[in-house]
């Protein structure tokens, strides 16, 4: 087990976004967190990454309590995420966007940069090599000098994943990575997630594309109105009456097929 979410409740004033939600993610698996809009999925991501604190409950990552830490500390611990809305640096190149992701792992200080010390130059070259390796992984190696803002939508999604991977995470959180993608882009994303998994990466995935979720996830939890209503393998979720009725609705049952 790499991540344990323990009885998380989150209230925003009079609104209760999450109620006593618990689940565990195992090392090396793709774990899906699914549910309709407003179910509390992104709220859970925000709590795991300390964007805001839970009202009650705690998050434990590799036996360390994450609750109460700062977001940058969460990244240093080995948890990194992407967002529903792409958050790249549009006026930076593709390569520069990925190198920024390694900032939390660099050791050179201000003075080594000012004085252009050998150690600083070596680290900079190492950062660029790793960034280029990640661009090859996501299929953007030919675009390293392009500005991020000039990339196609699906390419921007893959660039954001490369930047997240640059921080050397042990757990990668993907928040609706297939949102807005066409069929080819979604298939490319599926293949990319499979590649990342083979690197012994653990992935926690929020996604509305049910065919993608059913293909790529080992296990998943289903949220509805801030409560966990089911958990299991894709086959178990596909045949769960509570999921069919409360999450998809009877008329949309075919989406799970």
Compute the mean pLDDT over every residue in the chain, rounded to the nearest whole number.
90
pLDDT digits (tens, 9 = 90+) for 201-256: 999 999 999 999 999 999 999 999 999 999 999 999 989 998 887 655 644 445 55
Classify domain 10-78+169-256 by CATH number.
Answer: 3.40.50.300
Among 55, 52, 21, 49, which residue's Cα sits nearest to residue 35? 21
**Is it the case that residue 26 has pLDDT exceeding 80?**
yes
> Measured in whole angstroms, how far is the alpha carbon of residue 76 from the centre of its chain?
15
**Is it the case that residue 93 has pLDDT exceeding 50?**
yes
User: Domain locations in the chain?
Assistant: 10-78+169-256, 88-151
Q: What is the pTM of this model?
A: 0.88
Among 214, 249, 246, 208, which residue's Cα sits nearest to residue 229? 246
% of the chain surpassing 90 pLDDT: 78
Average pLDDT over residues 90-112: 77
With beta carbons less than 8 A apart as the criterion, state whether 10 and 55 touch: yes
Note the pLDDT of residue 117. Answer: 65
């Amino acid at each position: 087990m790499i991540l344990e979410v323990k009885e998380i409740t989150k209230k925003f004033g009079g609104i209760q976004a999450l109620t006593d939600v618990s689940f565990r993610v195992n090392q090396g698996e793709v774990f899906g967190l699914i549910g309709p809009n407003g179910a509390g999925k992104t709220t859970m991501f925000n709590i795991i990454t300390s964007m805001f604190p839970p009202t009650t409950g705690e998050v434990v990552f590799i036996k360390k309590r994450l609750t109460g830490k700062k977001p940058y500390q969460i990244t240093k611990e080995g948890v990194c995420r992407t967002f529903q809305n792409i958050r790249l640096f549009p006026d930076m190149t593709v390569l520069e966007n990925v190198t920024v992701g390694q900032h939390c792992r660099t050791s050179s200080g201000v003075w080594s940069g000012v004085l252009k010390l050998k150690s600083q130059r070596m680290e900079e070259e190492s950062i660029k090599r790793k960034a280029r390796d990640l661009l090859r992984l996501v299929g953007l190696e030919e675009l390293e000098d392009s500005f991020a803002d000039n990339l196609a939508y699906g390419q921007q999604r893959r660039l954001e994943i490369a930047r997240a991977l640059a921080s050397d995470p042990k757990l990668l959180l993907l928040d609706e990575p297939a949102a807005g993608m066409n069929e080819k882009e979604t298939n490319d994303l599926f293949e990319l997630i499979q590649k990342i998994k083979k690197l012994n990466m653990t992935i926690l995935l929020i996604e509305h594309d049910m065919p993608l979720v059913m293909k790529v996830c080992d296990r998943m939890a289903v949220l509805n109105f801030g409560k966990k209503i089911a958990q299991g393998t894709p086959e178990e979720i596909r045949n769960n009456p509570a999921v069919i009725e409360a999450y998809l609705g009877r008329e949309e049952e075919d989406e799970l097929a």
